[in-house]
Amino acid sequence: MSMKFVDEYRDPELAKHVSAEIARLSGDQPLKFMEVCGGHTHTIYKHGIEDVLPPNIDLIHGPGCPVCVLPMGRIDDAIAIARKEGIIFTTFGDMMRVPGSHGSLLDAKANGADVRFVYSPLDAYKLARQNPDRQVVFFAIGFETTAPSTAVTLLRAKAEGIKNFSIFCNHVTIIPAMKAILDSPDLRLDGFIGAGHVSMVIGMRPYNFVARDHQKPVVIAGFEPLDIIQSIYMLVKQLNEGRTEIENQYARVVRPEGNVKALQAMAQTMELRPFFEWRGLGFITHSALKLRSDFADWDAELRFEVPGLRVADPKACQCGEVLKGVIKPWECKVFGTACTPETPIGTCMVSPEGACAAYYSYGRFSMASERNRLHVLPITQ
């Protein structure tokens, strides 16, 4: 397992060079770009990319962290399932700490529920096969990136006739969320950094409306620091040349037509919900997936009774405004004080991909150093 290839995308000299080109092309013009994907947000903070970019480039962290956009009511539903007798409730690690209206899955576990974290729906499925006398439920979350693996697992469960396994489906789709953001009156964006992994599945065509109807450029980007810096360069170049197009910086992975097999597996097992609530963005039509009726036997929502209540976000929480890019994480009233990664109030503070958690862990200092208050010395040895 050699990771040498990564270094090419992390060359500090090259980063400086591309950043200087961005500065040259954009002049002093303030530009706001949204990275839609939580993975990008994470890379931006982990590598301190904002620190490398010219100051007129402002990155807005969009709704692409699947943990962050899940409304509280769905977490309560998940906990209700997990608490039922005989259930093994499986989930990605990130979800464990997300607060519902009465505690998190981690708290439910401390109170005796059998909650286990897994790395994939297939791991959950294996647990079901190993524990035929227990009901194993997988808490499926994520965009088109993770939905195919849920779909493939469902197909396998059906083919093998495994009945003690079910999916609590919370998969969402990225395009309706981008539409909702573009239709929002608060919007002041100049372009999008498109989600690399999602695009690997859905391809480039679904983004066409952004350029056509909204006259904004999109550049689909990879997840290494230089991928992101280069995609910003490509956005600035488009604007500079008066173009608004859908471009692909991540051509080493993303094909224009997407992954047809993955899309087929999704279409076989799941269909669009008429509407779904997104944390902070409200109800968005056709923005989420549920299991098709032929897979009703594996649908945890049908198999187990869930409260299904809509729970209002805590009043102080401004995750919605953060997700829409209306405010920066640090502008939220409770950021860094009542709401921290150990005591999260909003979902954006829970997942490492969440804009607030990323900002809290990695960004506080760059904000401070910008203000020249902390007298940072260059590191010399």
- Smallest gap from residue 124 Cβ to another protein (A): 10
**Spatial separation of the C-alpha atoms in residues 189 and 208, rounded to whole Å:** 17
Closer of 15 and 82 to another protein (Cβ):
15
Closer of 244 and 340 to another protein (Cβ):
340
**Spatial separation of the C-alpha atoms in residues 175 and 181, rounded to whole Å:** 10
**Spatial separation of the C-alpha atoms in residues 175 and 286, rounded to whole Å:** 10
- Smallest gap from residue 102 Cβ to another protein (A): 11
- Smallest gap from residue 52 Cβ to another protein (A): 5
Closer of 130 and 240 to another protein (Cβ):
130
Closer of 243 and 252 to another protein (Cβ):
252
Q: Is 112 left (phi over 0), alpha (psi -120 to 50) or beta?
A: left
Rounded to 10 degrees, the C-alpha dihedral 135/271/276/164 comes to 0
Contacts for 327 with CB less than 8 Å, ≥ 6 apart: 318, 321
- Smallest gap from residue 208 Cβ to another protein (A): 31
- Smallest gap from residue 125 Cβ to another protein (A): 13
Q: Which of 369, 363, 353, 352 is nearest to 330 (CA)?
A: 363
- Smallest gap from residue 70 Cβ to another protein (A): 17
Closer of 315 and 373 to another protein (Cβ):
373
Q: Which positions lie near another protein, rule CB under 8 A?
A: 1-4, 6, 10-12, 15-16, 42, 45-52, 93, 96-97, 106-107, 109-111, 118-119, 123, 225-226, 229, 330-331, 335-337, 341-343, 352, 360-371, 373-377, 379-381
Kindly report the number of other CB atoms within 10 A of residue 340's CB atom: 16
Are residues 210 and 218 in contact, defined by beta-carbon separation less than 8 angstroms? Answer: yes
Tell me which DSSP letter residue 53 carries: S
- Of the CA atoms within 13 Å of residue 173, those in its CB half-sphere come to 24
Closer of 303 and 364 to another protein (Cβ):
364
3-class DSSP state of 285: strand
